[in-house]
Amino acid sequence: MKTVLVTGGAGFIGSNLVRHLIRAGYRVVNLDKLTYAGNLASLKDLEQDENHIFVQGDVCDGMLVLELLHRYDCDAVINLAAESHVDRSIGSPGMFVRTNVVGTFEMLEAAREYWHALSEERSQGFRFVHVSTDEVFGSLGDSGSFTESTPFQPNSPYSASKAASDHLVRSYHETFALPTITTHCSNNYGPYQFPEKLIPLMTLHAVEGKQLPVYGTGLNVRDWLHVEDHCSALRLILESGRIGDTYNIGGDAERSNLEVVHAICQTVDELCPSDQPSSKNIQYVRDRPGHDFRYSIDASKLSSELGWKPSVSFEQGIKDTVSWYLSNPDWVTSTREKGYHGQRLGTSANSMTDQLTQSTERELGSTVDKPFDGVVFEQLTQYTDDRGWLIELYRNDEIPIGNEPVMAYVSQTMPGVSRGPHEHVDQSDLFGFFGPGDFRLYLWDSREGSPTFGERFTVVVGESNPQSVIVPPGVVHAYKNISLRPGIVFNAPNRLYAGEGKKEAVDEIRHEDNQGTPYQLVDA
């Protein structure tokens, strides 16, 4: 039995692919961060399946990826983990760069190191399949289709981040001979899709009698691919695709957004009859920025070389999909528990707090989704010219009173190594995380009387998300280098540290790394 590491396997396409691979006789190691779009409820039927191994973790944690590859003796990687909603990329583009670009880089580095350690026979069979999107090609007019040789012309932060990841994958094959294959798919639909996307959103709104917001004129065209057809194509490419090549995967079902909404309304009206047709609630709303007009996939290469064709017609797929959402209200409820209730996204930039909230894990019941009172994050800006770059770490006139540093130092932390956890009685720390390397920062509120006492907050900071952070007294803190290379951290406390020939320290440090302490660096 072969073992495949699937990233993003608790998401929409990922959960369907995990199920498809297990049915086909594979063992699947499923790595998912469980952000808003990752949902363990999508894997509920696999809870007792011995061929499904779920690990909660981040693709930006290269050490974790490498460990999983070795621990489970993997034969292949299918990289699905990605931030994928265009609207969200307009409000929070940094998250897309981090997951889609930096995450792919860390995956490639881990796969390369693992692949080099394999025997010659096993290394020849290893594959790294990178799943991308047709959106990297840009927008089409009224005619024509994307082929594998169409130049990239991304028009949103999402598609730009995916194009960048595609270039990285190609470079690792050309430079290091890593056995990679890249796929570009059209718009997917089917069961377990997070309800921010068009088809589930319109389905649920139609059932509930809510307004059906359609961007612009509704004439933007997409090629619709049922997720089960996508999964069958990915397995075929994994097993028989040419190394170093790319394949387009399309559903041969071009429809305008308005046609899709009307098809959903018709199906809802058939399954849930009411006095008024659902289509009466269609409302045209302001178009989103950079909205591509038309996508169309030419999948003839996949058909001629590997014999694949889509098997689910759009009409049947829509009926099955709408019926699935109507039959699974508990799953729908589980997505709403993550804070999404059908609101429109992508019309404005989110604040830094919003970005931190969205990138925070919820793997423990005591984890909160925003920093505690007294913890201050600031985005660090890198100023670049032909001489190099400069980062301003702090200004005393902008630091909250009482936190002004009195000393500063820089430390290096090796890959996979953590520092802490510990806390200070009176001292605050001003950290600067700007690279090289990414770190997972852990904070626990140990201040009795605080409304967040005993709770935890985590966020990834560093090269992909440069931040300064002030950690006040009483907040236990630790950080771990999750990159595959040494990382640098700046620290400027407001109390002096003790040391040979130095003044005595004026603060008490409480180390919290004893066995059994609640302050554990748990990620997976």
d(CA 189, CA 250): 12
- Report CA-CA distances (Å) from 522 to 64, 362, 454: 12, 11, 15
**Residue of 32, 134, 361, 463 with catalytic role:** 134
Residues 6 or more apart whose Cβ sits within 8 Å of residue 451: 373
Helix segments in 293-368, DSSP class H: 300-306, 314-327, 329-336, 352-358
Which is the catalytic residue, given 158, 295, 325, 519? 158
| 394 flagged as catalytic | no
Of 274, 273, 272, 253, the residue nearest 318 (C-alpha)? 253
Q: Which of 58, 109, 135, 292 is catalytic?
A: 135
135 is catalytic: yes
Residue 419, beta-bridge partner list:
479
Alpha helix stretches (DSSP H) within 118-156: 120-125
Residue 90 neighbours by CB distance under 10 Å: 21
479 to 374, 384, 433, 440, 483: CA distances (angstroms): 18, 28, 10, 5, 12
In this structure, are residues 52 and 17 in contact, taking their beta carbons and an 8 Å threshold? no
Task: Output the DSSP codes for 253-301.
Answer: -EEEHHHHHHHHHHHHHHHS--SS-GGGGEEEEPPPTT---B--B--HH
How many Cβ atoms from other residues are within 10 Å of residue 510's Cβ? 12
Whether omega before 436 lies within 30 degrees of 0, making that bond cis, reads: yes
Q: Which two tokens stand for residue 149?
A: 């040789």
The identity of residue 290, as a single letter, is G
What is the rounded CA–CA span in Å between residue 117 and residue 135? Answer: 35
Residues 6+ apart with CB under 8 A from 28: 3, 4, 5, 6, 9, 18, 21, 22, 51, 52, 53
CA dihedral 162, 164, 169, 172 (to 10 degrees): -170
The structure tokens listed for 241 are 């695709």
- CA separation for the pair 308, 448 (Å, rounded): 62
Is 315 an annotated catalytic residue?
no
Taking Cα atoms as reference points, which of 508, 454, 493, 462 lies closest to residue 106?
A: 462
Which residues are catalytic, by number?
134-135, 158
